[in-house]
């Protein structure tokens, strides 16, 4: 009949640690002398060391961090409204005046302006930095192509606020790319990298533009651009 043990006495944890060959041989030798296994010997050593230090038990383990991104911090005013009951907000009592040169006496930093398309480009280039040289070169060419001065202005000016890049703006940029005298593959290449940048903006932690990159920047087709080969005899009357 198997020996019954309480759940708290059952060995349920597996621990892996590294030893030098001489340490491993010594551990096996000590277990053999004591007539026990290595696991029982380690348990005995742990209990003995705890008794020497006067420790009866380990403290409660810290809660494990949940996987995924940490929750985005809400503005202070929003957090106060969410955590306080409805009703007029009470003003804090005035404290003593701040001493000159202290942190409280320094002026508050100016609020940063709106995020622009240039900011998105810089963030995406940094995020894209571990890619191959050819891929990074194509991305740089795409950025130059989209922001270069041309008749009618750049396709996407660098100073454009990110919250103004809506579906209508992307549709206009797509039409301008379609109308340029470029190879079919080159047009789709520029459109692909622009789509990737907009995906990065939508999934990022900053203000997300109101766009759907998959629908707003769908790839060009040969039929759409008028370069689809016409079958022989198309348009001719039946003979």
Domain ranges of the chain: 26-54, 117-216
SS3 content of the chain, % helix, strand, coil (to 5): 45, 0, 55
Asked if pLDDT for residue 53 goes beyond 60, the answer is: yes
Exposed/middle/buried for residue 211 (C-beta within 10 Å: 0-12, 13-18, 19+): buried
Please report which confidence band the pLDDT of residue 32 belongs to, taking 50, 70 and 90 as the band edges: confident
Q: Which of 170, 190, 188 is nearest to 224 (CA)?
A: 188
Q: Which of 113, 208, 119 is nearest to 158 (CA)?
A: 119
pLDDT above 90 as % of the chain:
35
Q: Which residue has the higher pLDDT, 169 or 58?
A: 169
List, for residues 213-239, the tens digit of each pLDDT value: 999 999 999 999 986 555 554 444 444
List, for residues 98-123, the tens digit of each pLDDT value: 555 554 445 443 334 578 999 999 99
Distances (CA, A) of 212 to 130, 164, 171: 26, 14, 11
Can you tell me whether residue 80 is helix, strand or coil? helix
| DSSP code at position 55 | -
Please report which confidence band the pLDDT of residue 67 belongs to, taking 50, 70 and 90 as the band edges: low
HSE at residue 226, side-chain half, CA atoms within 13 A, is: 4
Q: State the pLDDT at residue 77.
A: 52
Mean pLDDT of the chain: 75
Range with the poorest average pLDDT among 145-154, 174-183, 202-211:
202-211
Q: State the pLDDT at residue 97.
A: 56
Distances (CA, A) of 85 to 61, 77, 94, 143, 172: 34, 13, 22, 49, 47
């Amino acid at each position: 009949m198997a020996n019954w043990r309480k759940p708290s006495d059952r060995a349920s944890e597996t621990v892996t640690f590294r030893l030098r060959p001489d340490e491993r041989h010594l551990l096996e030798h000590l277990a053999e002398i004591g007539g026990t296994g290595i696991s029982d010997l380690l348990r005995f050593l742990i209990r003995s060391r705890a008794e020497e230090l006067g420790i009866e038990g380990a403290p409660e383990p810290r809660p494990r961090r949940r996987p995924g991104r940490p929750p985005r911090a809400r503005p202070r005013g929003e957090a106060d409204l969410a955590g306080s009951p409805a009703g007029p907000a009470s003003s804090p009592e005035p404290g003593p005046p701040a001493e000159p040169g202290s942190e409280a006496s320094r002026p508050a930093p100016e609020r940063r302006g709106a995020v622009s398309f240039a900011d998105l480009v810089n963030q995406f280039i940094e995020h894209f930095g571990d890619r191959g040289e050819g891929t990074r070169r194509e991305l740089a060419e795409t950025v130059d192509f989209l922001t270069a001065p041309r008749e009618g202005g750049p396709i996407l000016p660098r100073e454009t606020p990110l919250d103004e890049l809506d579906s209508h703006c992307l549709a206009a940029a797509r039409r301008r790319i379609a109308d340029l005298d470029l190879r079919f593959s080159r047009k789709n290449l520029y459109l692909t990298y622009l789509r990737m940048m907009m995906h990065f903006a939508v999934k990022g932690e900053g203000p997300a533009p109101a766009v759907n990159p998959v629908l707003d920047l769908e790839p060009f087709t040969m039929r759409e651009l008028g370069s689809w080969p016409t079958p022989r005899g198309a348009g001719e009357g039946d003979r």
